Amino acid sequence: MAKRLKSLSGLDAGFLYLENAGTPMHVGSVMLIEVPKTRSKKKYDFQSELMQHLHDRLPRAAALRRVLKETPLDLAHPMWVEIEQVELKKHVLKKTLPGNGGMAKLHALTGKLHAALLDRNLPMWQFVVIENVEPGVIALYSKIHHALLDGQGGVALAQVLLDIEAKAPKKTVRKKTTEVDDAPRLRKRDLTQTALRSTVNQFAKLLRALPGTLKLAGDMSSLGKLKNLRDSILLAPRTPFNQQISSTRSFATVSVSIELVKRVARGFNVSLNDVVMAMCGGALREMLNKSRQLPKQSLIAAMPVSLRESGNTDSNNQVSMVQCSLATDIADPVERLQAIRASTAQIKERVATFKNMIPTDFPGLAAPIWASGLSRLWASGRVAERLPPLANVAISNVPGPPIPLYLAGAKLRHYYPVSIVTHGLALNITVQSYAGSLEFGITACGDIVRKPEALAAALSRSLHQLNEILPE
**Residue in 55, 114, 146, 423 annotated catalytic:** 146
Closest CA to 68 of 127, 137, 13, 139: 13
Instruction: Report, in angstroms and rounded to the nearest whole number, the Rg of the chain calculated over CA atoms.
Output: 23
Closest CA to 421 of 14, 26, 1: 26
293 CB neighbour count, 10 Å cutoff: 11
C-alpha 429/C-alpha 214 separation (Å) is 37
Question: Left, alpha or beta for 158 (phi > 0: left; psi -120 to 50: alpha)?
Answer: alpha
Are 406 and 46 in contact by the 8 Å Cβ rule? The answer is no
C-alpha 339/C-alpha 333 separation (Å) is 10
Strand partners, 434: 437
The residues, ordered by sequence, that sit 6+ positions from 236 with a Cβ below 8 Å of its Cβ are 242, 297, 299, 300, 388, 389, 390, 391, 392
260 CB neighbour count, 10 Å cutoff: 16
Give the full edge-to-edge strand order of the sheet including 79-82.
Answer: 5-7, 79-82, 66-69
55 is a catalytic site residue: no
C-alpha 401/C-alpha 395 separation (Å) is 20
Give the full edge-to-edge strand order of the sheet including 125-134.
Answer: 92-96, 125-134, 137-145, 26-34, 410-418, 406-407
Are 22 and 203 in contact by the 8 Å Cβ rule? The answer is no
Counting Cα atoms < 13 Å in the Cβ hemisphere of 96 gives 6
Are 149 and 63 in contact by the 8 Å Cβ rule? The answer is yes
Torsion angle of the four alpha carbons 394, 395, 400, 405, in this order, in degrees rounded to the nearest 10? 70
Which residues carry out catalysis? 146
